[in-house]
Structure 1
């Protein structure tokens, strides 16, 4: 496609599921990019934007008034706006609506960005309803009695299982509220118990559904299998294809579709987390953006570019996806410091040992020496990812055990 005649897409950039280099790579021969970012992005992301300055337009919009941001986008003549960041969903929605571009309604985005609003909307549909309540610090007992024990405590807004904890008693709830940041608003939800038949499975009792919404159509691209959650509800890995029966697969797709319709989602990419319970699949939450680290997995397994699909959806261009049969288990295994760890990352010993494992293709280190280690920060606490492919689930299970045996994550404790 002629670069001068390619559509321009504005990227409201923030910490999220795609970095500047990967977004640019997906845009080649399709569109031109205009990055808008603030000083809250990481130094690494800023360096990537700087490295791309001959290929993209970029603007530092720190402390800019909204009318000036709109003026930038108007002068750039963008055809669409999108984001890959949970924390930029609402800001992106406001700009989309101000400029009359394609996107979800402000009410839909409010339900996506705020977990309490989302639960209220989902609870209007019996298929997607579970007990939930806004946590009131002066009425902890009442909140817990309403939701029941066990419960799950999590922020009303955020991503990656930060400040999330299973609550088994009023004392645990009181302790958590004392320990967690007081500046955050929390929601207390019914704890979804996985189906007992999967208690000893080598895979987790939940999945995510990756979907794209454009041109009046929603497409369910993939059901992503998961490794068991960590004790603190962080993802420990994901894989394709998913491990459940065709019957459960159809139930998963049905409940995801109901959630998408209930929330009124018509545009963009969604990442919906679903628990497999004895009463069928139940919605954990719907995220109004691409899932973290999932685009690389889908590209390896299916040869499909989810980032490019997100860019296409921003200008309401139809996305074509043909699911193919795959004959390996494509996986990502996440590396975390030992449970309940606090401190500062030093290094990972034993990375060279992983190179002897034929199923492993690549190991990515995510943290620099001196980076903070805090188990309460969810996937932000991840120090690395192991990428590979196995012939079956049992081999994947053995690989995950070998990974843990062969490496040692070093950190300075507080």
Structure 2
């Protein structure tokens, strides 16, 4: 059976699975029902697997030849907090939870590829990693600790993106996502009556100055050739309209692609916070929580992914990635252990506007499931061929 015929035959099942995942999203480390659906499908395909229980992941294994190279393919399972506004007939029925980042599609793509690989096993082994908690908690580390990468030569993964059309795959080597760090700034002033500000130290005023000042870290201290972002996403202060706030808390994120730039921004954030506190006689503390490291695709594996993409979408569908995304992805933890490549799948239908990931209105064209499944199938075969030739 040709790849095209096989893809068309399994496409209805991929759509069914995607819609089931989408209807019942679960948050990080809570993916119980999601895991049951995946395991049921792997049993149907007669693919053996191991399950780490709720909070863990699923590792399926397709063995075509015991002494051939072992390749891993990864999909993430968790949804996001939020209330869906898509109006889809299969929209989330779990209040405050939705698949706003396409993980429902990633799981369905990998299960589709599993069906293709099972139908015609390659001369090696393929490990199917269904990972919890990509959005928070770094579920990739859970999979690594469980031994999911044992004997694995390289790993491949991908993500749907509505910035690009269905039938396009983005491949590049080097840094493709940013380091993400979280910061918390705690301000302690001196509370007082709103009518007598001279008797107090206003934490809201200090917070306002800091909100504006930290934006100069990127705009005035970092070269425009080094992509960087500092965003304050949460502000908490005050108890009443006529009370000068004694405390304020700012929380935000730092996104960088180079270690020296990251270090400069963190040091600058602490410097500005300390100086602003001294200026207004407030106590300002900065706490940095290290997030996911950058995803750095290795060159050989990016070339393998490029060749696989060419076979699936042709030259016209192969899109280079000129600049790294400032988003973060815990696929980076796998790439700190073994070589690999992370790609992006175009998922926008012709005529659709670009609704970003994590939006409550996010959806993608299900035709992208065919492209993702075909890519995962082909990249596993291409990698096994490449590594087998090196070993011969």
Q: TM-score range by the shorter chain?
A: under 0.3
TM-score (normalizing by structure 2)? 0.28
Of the two, which has the highest radius of gyration? 2
**Scaled by the length of structure 1, what TM-score is found?**
0.27
